[in-house]
Amino acid sequence: MARVVTKNRINLEEDILSLWSIKEDIDTFLKVYCDHPHPMSEDQVYNYLYSIGNVLDLRMERLWDTFSQCFELDEYASDEALEARAKLCEDHLKKSRKDKK
């Protein structure tokens, strides 16, 4: 049974646009890193960049989930869509086997 789709194209666009804020996070880090009167330690630099990377991973996961909901993919696929995809794959395999002969 498919899960309920709660997101639409607008949510997808919002999630795509939210990725730009990662650039703002990196710009903020660079300003502090370059302009700070006391240099950051290697550990601090690593921790900030690692954290930004983790936030990017989370945003990409959210984006993929929204994309999957909008296009009824993965666990959001309806039973009808799953049946249609199975038939399409079956037809493709039959054609492919026929072409090999």
**Amino acid in the structure at residue 94:** K
pLDDT at 4 over 90: no
User: pLDDT tens-digit profile of 31-44?
Assistant: 999 998 999 999 99
- What pLDDT is attached to residue 58? 97
CA distances from 67 to 13, 24, 56 (A): 10, 24, 16
Residue with tokens 């945003």: 59
The mean pLDDT value for 21-30 works out to: 95
Residue 7 has which token pair? 């997101």
Identify each DSSP E strand in 1-101 by its residue range.
none
CA distance 1 to 91: 24
For the whole model, what pTM was predicted?
0.74
- What pLDDT is attached to residue 48? 96
CA distance 78 to 71: 10
For the chain, what is the largest distance between any 2 Cα atoms, rounded to a whole number of angstroms? Answer: 73
- What pLDDT is attached to residue 43? 97
User: pLDDT tens-digit profile of 42-100?
Assistant: 999 999 999 999 999 999 999 999 999 999 898 898 888 889 989 999 989 988 888 87
CA distances from 87 to 56, 81, 83 (A): 37, 10, 6
Residue with tokens 């049946």: 83
pLDDT at 101 over 80: no
